[in-house]
Amino acid sequence: MTAPSLPLVVVTGGAGFIGSHTVDRLIESGHRVVVLDNFSTGKRANLARWATDDRLRIEVCDVSHGIFAALAPVTAALGPVERIVHLAAQVSVVHSVANPLVDMQVNYGGTLHVLEYARATGVKKVVFASSAAVYGDVTEMPVPEDIKCAPVSPYGIDKLASELALDYYAVVHAVPATWLRFFNVFGPRQDPSSPYSGVISIFSDRARAGKGLTIFGDGGQTRDFVYVGDVVSAIAAALRDGNSRVVANVGTGREISVLELARTIVELCAGSSAITHAPARAGEILKSRARVDRLRDVLGVVATTSLVDGLRATLG
Ligand code: NAD
Ligand code: UD1
């Protein structure tokens, strides 16, 4: 049954890892959702549960070419877009170092196209997936949002440029926006198939199969790994929040070294995967841990899933 009175939310990148969990939560909580995705890393299988449900529409669209054409038939049928969650992006830091122009076109260009649509059609809220990569190599841990950002990769630069664009559109064109700086997100449906994939998806996939794990560098680098369910809670809270120009870290406030992570995953798999080392990758930060007061105080969200519980859910 069509439910025309339910608010209409666009999720760019909605067929991806974080996007598909976001779509699940939005539909479950009474929204209609339009996914815009070019399926470069996203999969229809991630949205299979809604395949015959008309609360979900999927439009193939490359956000770096604009979103007006893809949304025109949708809004003609369903009415105006109320809110947008903008997740579509090239997500690998390492890929951005090798391909900075692609990263700029997709990650910064895509954000500008989303903002142009929001400005022209009066969208009530844009929530943007920014990244801890905007900070670069900072010494203050946990990292507060108001520290000087000094990204060390094209990916971090394009996320920061996108944040500046959101701020500009909020101030000059009255497009309400919240940008969330995700730390390292993990959980089911994170695709392990590319060398650029997230470390937990790669390690889990290989450890389950009894294959060896490769650590880039000495493994002393740390990350704040946050479970996807908690990230979706932050996105949902930001969509509801009536404030504009809010920036908040989305992490746990805890960090773990990549070496300790590898050992934990091998142990949880009760396996014997060898852990070896390869040279460190360019453009990567060394330490990362979120200050999470603002996430809690402004958006009312605390990332409660422990690393081990999240790893168990990921390993299945
Ligand atoms: P993902 O690769 O699973 O999802 C990205 C989605 O965007 C995919 O469905 C992909 O097909 C789509 N996409 C890519 N380029 C597109 C384009 N030009 N037009 C339309 N769709 C396009 O990755 P994810 O981990 O779910 O990342 C979602 C967002 O969160 C990204 O913006 C990413 O930068 C951000 N983020 C992720 C993490 C993390 O640890 N996973 C951390 C910080 C920020
Ligand atoms: C990740 C996200 C990025 C996000 C950022 C926020 C992915 C692919 N990247 O980047 O979108 O903005 O978090 O903090 O989701 N490593 C290994 N062996 C491997 C793979 C990785 O040792 O097989 C190491 C890397 O060298 C790095 C760490 O694990 O030190 C994390 O790497 P990765 O999962 O690629 O994430 P980030 O670069 O932190």
Tell me the torsion sign for CA atoms 140, 141, 146, 148: positive
Pick 4 or 49 by higher pLDDT. 49
The predicted model gives 253-272 an average pLDDT of 96
Residue 1: per-residue pLDDT: 43
Q: Find the mean pLDDT for residues 198-202.
A: 98
Domain 3-185+227-253+289-304 has CATH 3.40.50.720: yes
Q: How far apart are CA 299 and CA 276, in angstroms?
A: 41
* Å from CA of 134 to ligand 2 middle: 14
- What is d(CA 45, CA 29) in angstroms, rounded to the nearest whole number? 21
- Phi and psi at residue 164, to the nearest 5°: -65, -40
Give per-residue burial for 48-80: e unless 16+ CB within 10 Å, then b.
eebeeeebbbbbebbbbebbeebbeebeeebee
The contacts of residue 234 (CB under 8 Å, 6+ apart) are 180, 248, 250, 295, 299, 301, 303
Which pLDDT belongs to residue 5? 79
Contact 290, 132 (CB under 8 A): yes
Bridge partners for 187 per DSSP = none
pLDDT of 190 higher than 50: yes
Atom of ligand 1 nearest to the CA of 64: 18
Amino acid at 199: V
User: Which ligand is in closest contact with the Cα of 107?
Assistant: 1
CA nearest ligand 1 atom 6, residue:
13
Q: Greater confidence, 74 or 283?
A: 74
CA of 65 to the centre of ligand 2 (A): 27
Ligand 1 atom closest to 91 (CA): 34
Mean pLDDT computed over 17-44? 98
Assess whether 117 carries a catalytic annotation.
no
| Chain segment 135-174, per-residue pLDDT in tens | 999 989 999 999 999 999 999 999 999 999 999 999 999 9
First to last CA, the chain: 33
pTM of the model: 0.98
Domain range annotation of the chain = 3-185+227-253+289-304
* Position 133 pLDDT exceeds 60: yes
| Residue 190 CB–ligand 2 contact under 6 Å | no
Give the closest residue to 264 by CA, choosing from 218, 309, 316. 309
Which of 81-85, 95-99, 284-288 comes out lowest in average pLDDT?
284-288
